[in-house]
Amino acid sequence: MTPAERTTSAGPLTGGYCFWVPTEPLHCAGALIVNPQGRLFFQRRSPHRRLFANCWDIVGGHLEPGETIEDALRREVTEETGWRVVEILEQVGEYRYVGDDGLPRVETDWLVRVDGDLTAPVLEAGKHTEYRWLGPDDLDLLDEHRDVNDGLIRRIAERAFVLLGPTGS
């Protein structure tokens, strides 16, 4: 059966393409990785990425089917850095936004500690190009003035530093 021969309750489909658009937001988990000096880890997305290309970001991504937020958090940290989450400290917040692909998302972000060589993350090939450890006075780097979501990563980082307190612990 060709796409043109398919029918729906509204009648035959006339085009060769059908797009699925979610009615519920995509759920995401984000990790604000803190090092022993109280600095947070950020990575730059590759310029070839479909979503937020060449922007600074925290570690994270979409939940896979059947996955809990904690499972996704642990998986994403390992996939994107090669590190292993050893402690989930505190929820930073839950944020709603629309990606530059037009899809709504709900992201829950957490402060975490990891195990691994913090001087040498294994960035996910083709997805991230560089990384930085930032303190509260370094957040201007995150001001990229790109779109309606600009400033979200900075606001998330500022909230994380408030939760960490002046000692960064």
Q: Is the dihedral angle over the CA atoms 111, 113, 118, 122 positive or is it negative?
A: negative
Q: How confident is the model at residue 8 (pLDDT cuts 50, 70, 90)?
A: very low
Residue 5 three-state SS: helix
What does each C-alpha distance from 67 to 83, 137, 166 come to in angstroms? 19, 35, 34
pLDDT value at 158 more than 70 = yes
Q: How confident is the model at residue 83 (pLDDT cuts 50, 70, 90)?
A: very high
pLDDT value at 3 more than 70 = no
Can you list the domains of the chain with their CATH numbers? Answer: 24-164 (3.90.79.10)
pLDDT value at 17 more than 80 = no
The tokens describing 45, both together, are: 């997305």
Kindly give the pairing relationship between strand 26-33 and strand 104-115.
parallel
pLDDT value at 1 more than 80 = no
Residue 45 three-state SS: strand
Beta carbons within 8 Å of 42's beta carbon, 6+ residues apart: 56, 57, 58, 131, 132, 133, 134, 141, 142, 153, 157
Our separate counts of H helices and E strands in the chain read 2, 9
Q: What share of the chain has pLDDT > 90, as a percent?
A: 62
